[in-house]
Structure 1
Amino acid sequence: MAEVQVNDRSKGSKKNGRIGIKVDMTPMVDLGFLLITFFLFSTNFSKPNVMDLGLPAKGPHGPTDIDYRNSITFILGKDSKVYYYQDERKNLNDNSLKEVSFDRAQVAKTIESAKASAPKKENFTVIIKPADDSQYKTLVDMLDELAITRSERYGISEMNDKEKDLYQKKVL
């Protein structure tokens, strides 16, 4: 326990009639460390950030045909480059694939303009196709842009052969 130690100054001169008192601070330090330990163990340091990703219900699903006028397709490439097209697959050519960047909300503007020109805005779908050399960060940035533009209908898919060829021509 805490002790108060009194110095007996009978040998020397007394100054103003004071008696020297020393307080043992060891129990106070122990209490401080116990409180710090308690708060460290009882506190949540940080909650994990979770991204809401809507997945289709389980069951047999066939291929879904999406009208190209009600959709836009983004290809996520190397070095955070993003390409898009809004055309039928059979009509794709070298000029169909256009580059857009995340700077100054260019992706969001592209999605909004495509959605505005869609005949059925309630069925507007964004299709995301990451390339083999794309980064995970680019996909997360793209999903953030979809949340910003409130695009609830989207899909993540693999590139077909024609899209891969067009992408390779753009990269080289």
Structure 2
Amino acid sequence: MAEVIAQEKQGGKSRQRKKRIGIDMTPMVDLGFLLITFFMFTTNFTKPNVMDLGLPAKGPTEPTNVIDDKNQITFIIGKDNRIFYHQSNEKDIVKSGLKETDYNGVNVARIISQAYENAPKKEIFTIIVKPTDEANYKNFVDMMDNISLAKKDRYGIADIKHWEKKVYEDMIK
């Protein structure tokens, strides 16, 4: 690793022996590469947490089966971290209006389970999420997390309809 090289003067008088010190850095470089390799292999590479969205295949745009109002619940994600829901059609929503809740997973799961229990055909019960233009991405992700916590497999994402938008705008005023 380290070596001392002594040089002596040849010839006449030798005054003092000069010693030159040389350090071999090869083992240090090897140790550095071993440490880098060790830390690379022991580091946890985290996978991003993503939710798989089951999107429909391309094909006919005509609906194959229409879901009754009582077999679905619609959540409208609005501005200012507000969320509304309804389980009605165009005519009934004017009378009943939208109900408001928060993004607490317990509240959303309770609303979904109540709607599921009241559904006549539980096998086709569907959750519909309709974000407005003012909604932010975090609220949408929170809503999708709440749906996964409720353990419901049938859900969809759609645009808000004009009659829902009218009632929504009346609610936020």
TM-score, length-scaled by structure 1? 0.79
Tell me how far apart the structure 1 counterparts of residues 74 and 108 of structure 2 sit (CA, whole Å).
12
Tell me how far apart the structure 1 counterparts of residues 143 and 167 of structure 2 sit (CA, whole Å).
20
Give SS of 2:85's match. strand
Give SS of 1:80's match. coil
TM-score, length-scaled by structure 2? 0.78
RMSD: 2.7
Q: How far is 1:31 from its partner?
A: 2.9
Aligned to 1:154: 155
Q: Could you list the runs of 5+ residues in structure 2 that have no partner in the other structure?
A: 5-22
Give SS of 1:155's match. strand
Aligned to 2:59: 59
Tell me how far apart the structure 1 counterparts of residues 24 and 86 of structure 2 sit (CA, whole Å).
73
User: Which deviates the most, 84-93 or 41-50?
Assistant: 41-50
Which runs of at least 4 in structure 1 moved beyond 4 Å after TM superposition?
24-28, 39-44
Residue 142 in structure 1 maps to residue 168 in structure 2: no
Q: How far is 1:169 from its partner?
A: 1.4
Residue 33 in structure 1 maps to residue 32 in structure 2: yes
Aligned to 2:106: 105
Aligned to 1:86: 87
1:35 alignment partner AA: L
Residue deviations 1:141-169, cap 9 Å, x none? 11111111111111100011111111111
Q: Name the CA shift for 1:128/1:104 in 2 (closer, same or farther; >3 Å).
A: closer
Q: How far is 1:45 from its partner?
A: 2.5
Residue deviations 1:28-83, cap 9 Å, x none? 54233212333455556322222111111221131352100111000001122110
Tell me how far apart the structure 1 counterparts of residues 120 and 66 of structure 2 sit (CA, whole Å).
16
1:82 alignment partner AA: I
Count of residue correspondences: 157
Give SS of 1:66's match. coil
Q: Could you list the runs of 5+ residues in structure 1 that have no partner in the other structure?
A: 6-23
1:31 alignment partner AA: D
Identity of aligned residues (%): 42
Q: Name the CA shift for 1:169/1:32 in 2 (closer, same or farther; >3 Å).
A: farther
Structure of larger gyration radius: 2
